[in-house]
Chain A
């Protein structure tokens, strides 16, 4: 469409150059005009100090993009040593042209970037330092939680039963379907894989021993802790973080309420109570999965399975797994609440802290699991 186009035309009349500019000079035509203008050289035959008339009377529309291009063209003309003289400029266009010229004349800010190697080293150092600082803060938060916890236990009317029960329902009862299903499947997988390997030695029946020891000592608690970290640790961070963004936590402080007592302790207690229960439930579901798999794949009857299991495990085997549960629960809840209270300002921060909370909780759970293993091997349990 002709009306959509912007154009320019340079003519020489009696030794004087006239540049006619017309049509629409706006953000949609600037790209083409800019490309065309690049191909135009300096006007020939104009003496330095001479004049070029720029006729703008045919200009239909001008926006900031067009004004910028026009300004740049005039500037380029001026650099070749000729003076552009504007004619037929409308007041509205003139105001815009002046405003853009003013914006153009300001110095541009160019951010100075360090070299990639320096940036890499600086980044590494900063991340390391931040990790140490976070570790220190987490230990401080642990101390604070213990102090407030002891204080609350000494004056039991401060115990908040309603949130405690509500959190127990959320982290314990509601987690049962997913924990149960996953544990059952883990039992099936371990039994199947174990049977496959042990069959080569004709020792299929020891699948039960493998199942009993691996699930009760490690897998039951680990699977449960990881699911709970993903499910409840993240929820703690998101809940507390959202309250932080809404300034609810600040409001609590101004009303003389202690956020650790109100937000952290009920969640911590709920998880410490529920995770052992969930672990026991997960142990049972895994053994059930293993038993069913043994029956199907190995023809080991349920009563045979139970008998073999009795011989394979001792009470300590079961206790080794269970004793870790409250510790892991404490870690998950502590990290979840800590990251929640670390949320700063924006909703974006809630998402970031939630991710961090899950990663850190799982990391700590596995580190502590390894520590437990070393400790138990020293104690010969």
Chain B
């Protein structure tokens, strides 16, 4: 295994009907980095995330996570490896029939044999870690705002202290202040828990603020580099993306 690469994608091909989304795509995610994935609509950002976490079967290629090929795994092995990553879906994807605290307790109850009071303690800690007030634990997802649902979803994703966390548009639908706070939260957690973050986003502010490297999905491939280096790339889409008015504004804030 390549020493730094915690996720290694090689020759990935995704196709729906005649439409080829990814073709011969290679991507390395290094341990401990925050990788932002960007691209225009329909370039397959979310598909890439879903493929890596095993929700979508690729047509061809290998995906190694922690050095093990997940495309060749059976269900038991996959279940084991799944506990080492967490996924935050766009709107939190909380179980609507459970309270926030019960949502966070689900992974513990399913995958550990911890006593109930210990699980409650740990769930309360996670809820605090993501910056929710203590009384949020007893509420149902429908009683929370969008930003709070995302935080609760993050608490559930972090339940078993995963090594990698996948975020699908974490700041979409949040107001700028909420988005900035969420960015900071991810950065803080990433540093204190030593996480690797794989983040699909449209938010240039997030990219500028917290991403170590950026992966741009273009023409069914991916270009990965730091923001500063990507600025110099002479590809029309990348140029428009980073040098457009929003891109410049995000960079100036940095």
Contacts and interface: CB of A to CB of B under 8 A. Distances in A.
Contact of B193 (A64, A68, A108, A345): A64
Contact of A345 (B108, B126, B142): B142
Nearest to B107: A27
Interface string A77-103: 000000000000000100110011011
A103 B193 contact: no
B114 interface: yes
Contact of A63 (B96, B113, B191, B193): B193
B121 interface: yes
A352 B151 CA distance: 27
Contacts of A26: 161
B11 interface: no
Given A27-B160, A68-B121, A99 B194 contact: no
Given A34-B118, A63-B161, A96-B192, A106 B128 contact: yes
Contacts of A256: none
B192 A95 contact: yes
Given A27-B161, A31-B113, A348 B96 contact: yes
Nearest to B137: A109
B122 interface: yes
A64 B125 contact: yes
A346 B161 CA distance: 30
Nearest to A32: B113
Contact of B161 (A65, A92, A102, A107): A65
A34 B118 CA distance: 9
Interface in B135-168: 135, 137-138, 142, 158, 160-161
Nearest to A348: B96
B21 interface: no
B8 to A, nearest CB: 23
A99 B130 CA distance: 11
Decide if the interface of chain A is mainly helix, strand, loop or mixed. helix
Interface in A193-250: none
A111 interface: yes
A307 interface: no
B112 A27 contact: yes
Contact of A99 (B113, B129, B158): B129
B146 to A, nearest CB: 12
A92 B194 contact: yes
A258 interface: no
Contacts of A63: 161, 193
Nearest to B122: A65
Interface string A105-143: 011110100000000000000000000000000000000
Contacts of A111: 138
Given A96-B192, A109-B138, A30 B118 contact: yes
Contacts of A30: 114, 118
Interface residues of B, number: 27
A299 interface: no
Interface residues of A, number: 26
Given A31-B113, A346-B96, A96 B122 contact: no
A160 interface: no
Nearest to A104: B125
B161 A108 contact: no
B191 A103 contact: no
B134 interface: yes
B118 A108 contact: no
Interface string B84-115: 00000000000010000000000010001111
A28 interface: yes
Given A34-B118, A109-B135, A346-B142, A95 B125 contact: no
A38 to B, nearest CB: 10
A30 B160 CA distance: 12
B124 interface: yes
A99 B118 CA distance: 18
A65 B142 CA distance: 28
B135 A68 contact: no
B134 A106 contact: yes
Given A63-B161, A108-B124, A103 B129 contact: yes
A83 to B, nearest CB: 24
A108 B125 CA distance: 10
Nearest to A110: B138
A381 B101 CA distance: 63
Interface string B181-216: 000000000011110000000000000000000000
B236 to A, nearest CB: 34
Nearest to B189: A99
Contact of A64 (B134, B138, B161): B161
Given A64-B122, A65-B122, A107 B112 contact: no
A209 B199 CA distance: 74
A109 B124 CA distance: 9
A348 to B, nearest CB: 5
Contacts of B108: 27
A108 B134 contact: yes
Contacts of A104: 125
Interface string A155-178: 000000000000000000000000
Contacts of A28: 112
Given A27-B122, A34-B118, A96-B192, 16 more contacts: A28-B112, A34-B114, A34-B115, A63-B161, A64-B122, A64-B125, A64-B161, A64-B193, A92-B192, A95-B191, A95-B192, A106-B134, A107-B134, A109-B134, A109-B137, A348-B142
6 contacts: A27-B160, A34-B118, A96-B192, A99-B192, A103-B128, A348-B96
Q: Give the 3 A-B CB pairs with smallest separation, nearest first.
A: A63-B161, A103-B128, A109-B135
